[in-house]
């Protein structure tokens, strides 16, 4: 299999490249390094089946050539992280919507399989936890920039599924739930890298909001394994799949867990959302996936649980 990974120098994309290469596939990466890092793929540069291009999906001649050479496109390139989304809503919307549109347009010319990486954010303020793929998407008002990311990724999904329905372009949508692990940066507001770095440096561990909001975290290795299996399963085409872990933890308890595992003496402090992000910032109280659909199709079960994930992330930052 010849795979193209847009955003392949990012956190998830680089782990996916690792996995596909170990499976004997040919991997091409396209990344403009806006949120990815060349360090994430530096160890792959000498691999005879690995190729990378530093450019944007918006460079259509470059993208068109790479898509033509691929059998499957993993479209991971996107604006990521709550901090970036709040501070740069125009960039978020344009990057996500336009990037996906261009990928689908060029993939459709040769009917290349496309897997769109979406997000649990699309469920918005829905309170019917755990979220199933057919649940309603409940977003906040357009005046709250926080929802721009969720809306843009929902449009990506609508567009991809429209290409399947109308043009018979084979597409798969994977909704990722808080993917974490080594190589993830805290630069854009990712909670576990930030907690770990604060704990290891003895700085206060900053919990945004009151800390009662809950999340479920999925190890990146489990996620990329699921992505690789989905594109090999014809019955996945035209469908949406949650990719996550059902174990739920409050952010306050997560901070305590990080502090304990890191052997840290850091104080845990709470910061109101208005101060952390912007006035009137809205968040969802819970975000937990129903993974029945993906389990039934490919036997997906998350193998790495939270404490092991945290230990891996702590070890990663200790060596940096």
pLDDT per residue over 142-160, tens digit each?
A: 988 888 889 999 999 999 9
Average pLDDT for 14-43: 97
Give the C-alpha separation, 13 to 282, whole Å.
29
> What are the C-alpha distances in Å from 261 to residues 89, 222, 252, 305?
36, 22, 15, 14
Average of per-residue pLDDT values in the chain: 94
Map tokens 């595992």 to a residue.
Answer: 261
The model's pTM is 0.95
Average pLDDT estimate for 102-126: 97
Instruction: Write down the residue that tokens 């850091």 correspond to.
Output: 266
Residue 276 has pLDDT above 80, yes or no: no
Q: How confident is the model at residue 71 (pLDDT cuts 50, 70, 90)?
A: very high
- Mean pLDDT, residues 25-44: 96
Tell me how far apart the alpha carbons of residues 274 and 280 are, in angstroms, rounded to a whole number. 6
pLDDT at residue 14 tops 90: yes
Q: How many percent of the chain have pLDDT more than 90?
A: 85
Residues recognised as catalytic? 149
- Quick check: 156 and 102 in contact, CB under 8 A? no
In the chain, what percentage of residues exceed pLDDT 70? Answer: 98
Architecture of domain 2-180+217-245+288-303: 3-Layer(aba) Sandwich (3.40)
The SS3 of residue 6 is strand
In the chain, count of helices (H) and strands (E)? Answer: 11, 13
């Amino acid at each position: 299999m010849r795979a193209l990974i847009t955003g392949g120098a990012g956190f998830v994309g680089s782990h996916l490249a690792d996995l596909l290469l170990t499976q004997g596939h040919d991997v091409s990466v396209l990344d403009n390094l806006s949120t990815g890092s060349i360090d994430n793929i530096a160890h792959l540069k000498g691999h005879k089946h690995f190729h990378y291009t530093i450019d944007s999906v918006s460079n259509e001649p470059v993208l068109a050539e790479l898509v033509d050479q691929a059998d499957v496109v993993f479209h991971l390139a996107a604006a990521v992280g709550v901090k970036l989304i709040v501070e740069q809503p125009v960039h978020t919307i344009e990057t996500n919507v336009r990037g996906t549109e261009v990928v689908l347009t060029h993939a459709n010319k040769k009917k290349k399989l496309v897997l769109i990486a979406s997000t649990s954010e699309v469920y918005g303020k829905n309170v019917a936890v755990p979220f199933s793929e057919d649940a309603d998407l409940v977003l906040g008002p357009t005046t709250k920039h926080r929802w721009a990311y969720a809306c843009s990724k929902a449009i990506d999904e609508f567009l991809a599924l429209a290409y399947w329905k109308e043009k018979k372009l084979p597409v798969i949508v994977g909704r990722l739930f808080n993917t974490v692990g080594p190589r993830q940066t805290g630069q854009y507001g990712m909670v576990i890298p930030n907690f770990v770095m604060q704990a290891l440096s003895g700085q206060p561990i900053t919990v945004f909001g009151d800390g009662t909001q809950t999340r479920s975290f999925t190890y990146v290795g489990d996620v990329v394994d699921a992505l690789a299996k989905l594109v090999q399963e014809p019955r996945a085409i035209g469908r949406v799949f949650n990719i996550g872990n059902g174990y739920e933890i409050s952010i306050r308890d997560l901070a305590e867990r990080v502090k304990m595992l890191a052997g840290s003496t850091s104080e845990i402090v709470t910061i109101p959302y208005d101060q952390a992000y912007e006035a009137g910032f809205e968040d969802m109280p819970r975000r937990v996936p129903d993974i029945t659909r993906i389990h039934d199709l490919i036997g997906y079960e998350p193998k790495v649980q939270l404490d092991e994930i945290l230990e891996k992330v702590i070890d990663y930052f200790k060596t940096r």
